[in-house]
Amino acid sequence: MIDRDLPATDDELHAYVDGELPPDRRKTVEAWLATHPDDAARVAAWGAHAELIRVRYGGAARSPVPARLDLARLARAERKWTWMAAAAVVAAFLVGGASGWFGRGALVSGPPPAATSVTAEALDAHKLYVAEVRHPIEVPAEASHLVPWLSRRVGSTLRAPDLATFGLKLMGGRLLPGHSGKPAAMFMYESASGERYTLYCARSAAPETALHYNVAGQVAAVYWGDGDVGFVVSGPADRERLIKIAQAAYEQLDRRTTRGNS
């Protein structure tokens, strides 16, 4: 039974445009529209706007898919990545002390969202300051207040790991605006040949996570989360070396060992 006196609700008008109404209600709405020109005009406008959207963006689905979106190619790259990470797991176990680093299924599930944004911020800061000739850092390593100051501002006890085994010397650090303006810290290291690496530390909602490697052109980053802090080691895109450096930093910064094997 169709009740012609019952007004069509706005929800029904939308459902009508989108073909979500059952046939009997459809008839009711059509009857309503026939006698209510204002609603009929709105419904017509929604339909016209939908058509504009389809015309505007339809071409994107018809243009040839670029090579970088080739699924077989992406799958090959993934396999390589997984193999590389697996090799690093073995290395971590051989070195010892880093067990569980790659655990918790991180390789299959991908990095958590917060990790992605912290990594993006770290890479931005890295690219900007590594290129600086005169003022790459704000406070030099020699200043005794460097680490306490950054720890206080970030709101977590930080340390600048010793990366001398990689020929990297701590230059100093700086304070940065991190996610939504919250303070973040960056330590910068340099090798004799002028290669620069940074360690970025920011309070992050990301849960504790395993290592994630992320490459962005010439530079790459390794992210991990520990407690409420996200760490990112960035440097030239040499995976093997960057992962080793990140691993060394991770071991020195590991809260669990710092807290005395809780």
Partner 1 sequence: MGGFRQDVEAAIPALRRYARALTRDGDVADDLVQDTLVRALRSERLFLGGDVRSWLYTILTNLNRNRLRSLSRRPALMPMGDNDAADMAGPEAGGRDIERALATLVDDQRTALLLVVLEGLSYREVAEVQGVPIGTVMSRLARARAQVKAFLDGERPVLRRVK
Sites of contact with partner 1 (CB under 8 A): 10-11, 14-15, 18, 20, 42, 45-46, 49-50, 52-63, 65-66, 68-69, 71, 74-75, 77-78, 107-110, 113, 116-117, 120-121, 177, 179-181
119 vs 198, beta carbon nearer partner 1: 119
Q: What is the nearest approach in angstroms of partner 1 to the Cβ of residue 158?
A: 22
Nearer Cβ to partner 1, position 53 or 143? 53
For residue 248, the minimal CB distance to partner 1 (Å) is 26
Q: How far is the CB of 182 from partner 1 (least distance, A)?
A: 10
Shortest Å, Cβ 71 to partner 1: 5
Phi, psi of 16 (to 5 degrees): -65, -50
Nearer CB in complex with partner 1: 105/260: 105
CB-based contact 242:233 (threshold 8 Å): yes
The closest of 167, 155, 227 to 197, measured between CA atoms, is 167
Closest to partner 1 by CB, 72 vs 192, is 72
